[in-house]
Copies of this chain bind each other. A is one copy, B any other.
Amino acid sequence: MAKKENFKVTPWNISGEVDYSKLVKEFGTTFISDKIKKKLDKAHPILRRGIYFSHRDFDKWLDAYEKKDKVSIITGRGPSERMHLGHLVPFLVAKSLQEQFDCDVFIPISDDEKFYVKENLTFEKSLEYSKDNILDLIALGFKPGKTFIFEDFVYTDIYKYAAKIAKRITYSTAKAAFGLKPENNVGWSFYPAMQAAHILFPQFYTNKKHISVVPVGIDQDPFIRLTRDIAQDFGLEKPAALHAKFIPSLYGDPKMSSSKGGSIFLSDLPEEVEKKIKKYAFSGGRDTIEEHRKLGGNPDIDVSFQYLRIFFEPDDKKLQKIHDDYKSGKMLTSELKSILIEKVNAFLKEHQKRKEQAKNQLDKFILKNN
């Protein structure tokens, strides 16, 4: 328990073992209730299995949908690199919600943010990552005609919306919410306005006041709060939020981050995936086979099991069996890893094929300036 006292979560850093109950209390958010869970029982495992655990006004979003009012989803991507599995989390949620509720999905691509924040990222490289990442997103299977992908350096009309919001955010406020320093560049100072414009964009763009839900990591909640305040100034509906726990890296670190390694990229080849999982995936197994057979493994801390639970085994019964077999010692770590490797590679093979096809579908998804 002492360990849990030392955790710290800000939008820029996560350290220690995260106490999610404490976060909910601190941030003033609400746990996802059983009533809500029931309504999502056909959704993607990420939503069904507690990865998303907290929310703001998502009950209102569901109510609006049931009253046949317009609802939408907004979740963005800061394209500073190739995408890895961890990056998919909010998009899998968005896709699942879009399938169930047949609503619009808005996907801002904040190439400007990454350009401002990453010292060595060039403008050209930033555009390149955007192009690549957009193909990954289209490959996930969003509905054409109901999915609007817009890139800040391409759909530059977003500047108009950001400007409207910028007028309402003082430097002091931005400094506090984003931890700005005087030596940071002025693009960075401006970005809070751009991010709020992204979150409110569904209402600006459709010219219709409605609730839009933002699936985000719980660490991003301060920005949601800032934007909810701003929404009121514009006579808009406050955006709802769904808060995710952190997805562990292969190493078992609390948050997957490609800068630290330990990520499976969507472009990885089968051999790479196999090697990474075999070599790095943090195991809940015992030190020796004998011990494992006798005492069993710990699926709760085993990254391979967690990846099956979060991403790759939608069948609850099958997942339960893997859980039980692993816990009892019947299933070895190597066997568990084999299951994951096969699932990941099947997913990536299909994804990479769809990404190729996405090149011909760009026009159906990309917003352009007037």
Closest to A175 in B: B182
Whether a CB of chain B sits under 8 angstroms from the CB of A189 is: yes
- Whether the Cβ atoms of B157 and A186 lie closer than 8 Å is no
Contact with B along A152-165 (1 / 0, CB 8 A): 11001111100110
Interface hit among A166-174, A243-251, A254-262, A271-279: A166-174
Give the distance in Å from the alpha carbon of A182 to the alpha carbon of B182 in the complex: 11
Whether a CB of chain B sits under 8 angstroms from the CB of A193 is: yes
Q: How large is the interface on A (under 10, 10 to 19, 20 to 34, 35 or more residues)?
A: 35 or more
Tell me which of B123, B193, B370 contacts A164 (CB under 8 A): B123
Contacts of A188 in B (CB 8 A): 171
- Whether the Cβ atoms of A186 and B160 lie closer than 8 Å is no
- Whether the Cβ atoms of B153 and A156 lie closer than 8 Å is no
Tell me which of B116, B181, B190 contacts A186 (CB under 8 A): B190
Closest to A155 in B: B156
Closest to A190 in B: B190
Give the distance in Å from the alpha carbon of A181 to the alpha carbon of B193 in the complex: 17
- Whether the Cβ atoms of B171 and A180 lie closer than 8 Å is yes
Whether a CB of chain B sits under 8 angstroms from the CB of A187 is: yes
Tell me the smallest distance from the CB of A296 to a CB of chain B, in Å.
Answer: 53
Tell me which of B116, B157, B172 contacts A369 (CB under 8 A): B157
- Whether the Cβ atoms of A183 and B187 lie closer than 8 Å is no
Whether a CB of chain B sits under 8 angstroms from the CB of A115 is: yes
Give the distance in Å from the alpha carbon of A115 to the alpha carbon of B193 in the complex: 14
Number of copies: 2
Whether a CB of chain B sits under 8 angstroms from the CB of A185 is: yes
- Whether the Cβ atoms of B183 and A172 lie closer than 8 Å is yes
Give the distance in Å from the alpha carbon of A217 to the alpha carbon of B69 in the complex: 55
Contact with B along A112-144 (1 / 0, CB 8 A): 100110000001000000000000000000000
- Whether the Cβ atoms of B193 and A171 lie closer than 8 Å is no
- Whether the Cβ atoms of A186 and B166 lie closer than 8 Å is yes
Contact with B along A277-295 (1 / 0, CB 8 A): 0000000000000000000
Whether a CB of chain B sits under 8 angstroms from the CB of A21 is: no
Contacts of A171 in B (CB 8 A): 171, 180-186, 188-189
Contacts of A170 in B (CB 8 A): 182-186
Whether a CB of chain B sits under 8 angstroms from the CB of A108 is: no
Pairs A-B, 4 closest by C-beta atoms: A166-B187, A190-B190, A156-B156, A159-B159
Q: List 29 A-B contacts (CB under 8 A).
A: A112-B163, A115-B167, A123-B160, A123-B164, A156-B157, A156-B158, A156-B159, A156-B369, A159-B159, A166-B185, A166-B186, A166-B187, A166-B190, A167-B185, A169-B185, A170-B182, A170-B185, A171-B171, A171-B183, A171-B184, A171-B186, A171-B188, A171-B189, A172-B182, A172-B183, A186-B190, A186-B193, A187-B193, A190-B190
Q: A156-B156, A189-B189 given. 14 additional CB < 8 A pairs?
A: A116-B163, A153-B159, A156-B159, A157-B369, A163-B187, A166-B185, A169-B186, A170-B183, A171-B181, A171-B185, A171-B189, A186-B190, A186-B192, A187-B193
Seen from chain A, the residues whose Cβ lies within 8 Å of a Cβ on chain B are 112, 115-116, 123, 152-153, 156-160, 163-164, 166-172, 174-175, 180-190, 192-193, 369-370
